[in-house]
Structures are given as C-alpha cells and as structure tokens.
Amino acid sequence: MQFNKKDLDFINQKGLTQKKVEQQLNLLKAGLPFINLERAATIDDGILQFSYDKASQLISHYDSRKDDLKVVKFVPASGAATRMFKFLFEFLKDYKPKKQSINAYINKNKASELSLFFIGLEKLPFYKLVIQYLEDNNKIDKKSSNDQKLYAFIKAVMEADQLYFSDFPKGLLPFHNYKKHLASAFEEHLFEAALYASVKGKAALHFTISEKHKDKFHEEFERIQEIVEEKTKTKFDVSFSYQKESTDTIAVTLKNEIVREENDELYFRPSGHGALLENLNEFDADIIFVKNIDNVVVHEYELEVAKSKKMLAGLLIEVREQAFKYAKALDEKELSDNDIVEIAEFLISKMNVVISSEFEKYSKQYQIEYLKSKLDRPIRICGMVQNEGEPGGGPFWVKDEGANLSLQIVESAQINKKEKSQKSILKKATHFNPVDLVCSIKNYKGEVYDLQKFVDQQTAFITMKTKVGKDIKALELPGLWNGSMSNWNTIFVEVPLVTFNPVKTVNDLLKPTHQVT
C-alpha cells in the first residue's frame, strides 16, 4: 500500500512509522491465528488455592516487607460510561410516549434490562440527585404521570443539555450512595488503596484516563482529597496519563481498503487496553497492583478485598525473593548439577514454567542460559474467581507454534469455538479473570524491564466496528493482561468472588456490593 506525503506526515505526527502501519495493514488483511488451548487451568493444575493459615501468612509477609518497597496502584480508567447506558439509548430512540405506555414498550421489546432498571430505580446511587434536578427545573410536578416521570428521569440522565451522565468518564459517575454523600469509583479506589497500597502513610495511585477528561479528574481529586486523607490517615500521590496516539491503529473496510476521514485523512482508532502497556512501561516500582476503574465495592466489603490483594502481594514477594536469589546465582556462581536441578524445579513448581523435555541433554552452559531466559522476566500474580457466568477472560494452559506450554489469560474472542475440541476446553473452565493483578517489573539488580520485549504480537484482536454506518475492521493490540503479558512468569491464585464487582451496565449498581446497608 502506497501512502502519499500527507499520509506519511500524519503517521509521523502520531508517533508511528510507515513500517508499523504497514504491519498493521498486513495483520488486518491476513487475519490473526486463534489461541491453541491445551486445557483449562483448574485448582492444582495452574491455579493455587490457599488455606486460611497460608493466606494469613502471606498477608503478614506483605505487611512486614512493604515499607521497604515502592508500591503503586495502576488503574485503567479511560472508559466512558456510555456503554453502561446502552439499553437506555435504545429506549429513547424507539419509545413513542404519545403512542404507548412504558409497560407496553417493555413487553413488546422484551426489554428485561429496562424493567430491572425501573424496579431498582430508587436504589440507584444518583436517584435523589436526578429527582431533585427534575423538580428544580420544573421537568416533573405533582400532576406528572408515572410514565412521564420515568421518561423524564431517563432523559435527564442521557441528554446533553441535562445531567448527561451517559457522557461521564465511568470513574467519575456516582457509584455509591452513602448517608452524607455520593462516591465515585475514583474516590473508592483511594479508600481501597489506603488499605493495601499505602507505604509509611502514603499511597501512590496512577490512573490512565482520556485526555479530554483530565480537568474533571483533577477537580474531583481536589474536591475529595482532604476529606479522604483525613478519614484514611493516608496522603495520596495521584498521577494521570493518557493512552498514547502512537498506539492507535489503522482501520480497513471489509474489502481491506484503508478507511479515511471526510477530509481524506487516514482514520486511526484507539487500540484497546493493550495500548496501556506503554503507560505501564514508564513505571519504576517494586510492586504494581492493577485493577479496573469500575471494580470497586462499598466500604462494608473493602477489608475483605484488601486482604485478598495483600495475599497476592505477599505471594509475589515470597516467589520473587527466591527467583532473585537464583537469578543472581546463575549470573555469578559456579553451579553444580544439583543447583541446576533445584532452579529448574523451582521454575516448574512455583512459576508454572514447562521445561523442555530436551533439557537434560543440553550442555551445562546451555542449561544455565536456558534457565536464565526462563527466570529473567517480569512476574505477575493473577487473582482468579470461580466462574459464575460473568463475561471476561479465563485461565488456560496454551500451546504456542513451537508446542511450548504456558499459562495464559485468554479472551473468548481468541478461541475458535467452531472447533469442537477448543469449545470443549472452554466449557471446562472453572474460573475467570477479574483483572486482579500484582506485578513485579524489575530484575534482581533493580533494573526495570522493557515490557515490550515480552509481548506476543500474534495475540492482537481484529474487531468489527462501524464508522458512519459502514462496517469496518479494527485492530486491537494484544490485551494488557492477555498477550501483552504473554511472556511474563505467571501464577494464578483463586480469590473470593467479592473481589470482582464490575459495572458493565447501570443495573450492576443494584448489586449488593454496590449498595450501602
């Protein structure tokens, strides 16, 4: 594909290169391979399950060591609330208030989500706020029928000239209704971080946000900082970054023709959460907690969530200490055959590394190089919750093109469900990934890894999107906790279901972990 000078200038302005864009086009044209599942990861076969005593010991280990470490909580928070209100958009588009009742609309369209929304309306965190707005602006009064009130309520939430919650960043939407105030997900992350990510009375949090919302986030932090710091006795170091333009990807039509804007400029799209690896790659920290913006709970459940996080971090410290000891020995010591066997057994039993069946035939020097290559990697401890039908990636043993086995978090879109054996493995999955990670990104010398070196580029996604009503193919980079961490050393641990409380639709705010009792 030939680009003109204007195209090349535009590509360079975005921080991309012609070669990179051409690689994207080749991937869109050729397609990407499905992941080859070997089997589902289960308890005692890829997923650890800890007793109460072991979990307590790991929590104590973390608490005793964290003051000597640099700890950061990393929160992907660029998502808009728009998708939370999808069924309300459909309602406003299709409902004819003068021709039908709301109940008739629900029955005709089998609108179960809308029905649940109305049933739980008074339990929504922003219910009183919206009602107050409607009354203050004379949009409802005592003469208004129930249907008129419900219709006005939805319009207030959805429309640009009213409260317009549907355009909020998800992190700033009112999530929880306490006696004296409404709390956003952003605020809840501060309270939570104080419980497990604070070091010597200070907690560092980093939010990746959309640049257009930066002022709103700064204003929200200024508004709540003093209150939250007083309540938690914790000082907060909050920083923000944006998804880099250089991670955007080009789009094509279904016939693989380049999509352009009306002014003939190349059309690029944000490339999914995998783009945030660039942001993560700029950290210098010993422990990084990763958790999505919408996965929070009301205060009642925070201690249980914090215990789970500390347990994962305690395991990370325990495993990393041993890994660092072995990595140093591989670099500096004259190792015996027994030493080599001990390190290999550590990798197998503690790091889930599948050692080559040819390992014993290697020369001693090559065995050492081989073990170095397996050990000298970032480490991630991933919480896994029991599968209860929620959407999300799952833990699997995966076989790559070289027939090497490894533990991976796999999205259902990466699996060829038309192939019986793969579909069967998918059905046997017992757990799924709630995006609950604790990461180590340094080697034993304290040097930060270049995280781009551990990405499996073949695990990118091709997704179907629309632009001005036309179908297009878009490329998403390997997911942050999927292909972007494909070549990290990986440990999966079962965590309680209470640690997973995403808000994918507004109705999720009606669940117990989002309700103040």
Residue type at position 23: Q
Share of the chain above pLDDT 70, in %: 99
pLDDT higher than threshold 90 for residue 483: yes
Gap between the Cα atoms of 87 and 109, Å rounded: 11
User: In 3D, which of 407, 159, 451 has the Cα closest to residue 288?
Assistant: 451
- Tell me, what's the pLDDT at 392? 62
Residue 48 contacts residue 314 (beta carbons within 8 Å):
no
Residue 434 CA to its chain's centroid (Å): 8
Helix (H) or strand (E) holding 132: helix 127-136
In terms of Cβ atoms closer than 10 Å to its own Cβ (0-12, 13-18, 19+), residue 276 is: buried
* pLDDT given at position 389: 66
pLDDT tens, residue by residue, 1-52: 579 899 999 999 999 999 999 999 999 998 888 999 999 999 999 999 999 9
Q: For the chain, list the domains and their CATH numbers.
A: 5-80+169-317+427-514 (3.90.550.10), 82-167 (no CATH)
Whole-number pLDDT of residue 52? 97
311-363 tens-digit pLDDT: 999 999 999 999 999 999 999 989 999 999 999 999 999 999 999 999 999 99
Taking the C-alpha atoms of residue 73 and residue 306, their distance in angstroms, rounded to an integer, is 12
The answer to whether the pTM exceeds 0.95 is no
What does DSSP say about strands 394-399 and 37-40: parallel, antiparallel, or unpaired?
antiparallel
pLDDT at 406: 95
pLDDT for residue 468 = 77
Cα–Cα distance, 72 to 60 (Å, whole number)? 19
At 410, give phi and psi (nearest 5°). -120, 135
Q: What is the per-residue pLDDT across 202-232, written as a single tens digit (0 to 9) for each?
A: 999 999 999 999 999 999 999 999 999 999 9
- The predicted pLDDT at position 401 comes to 82
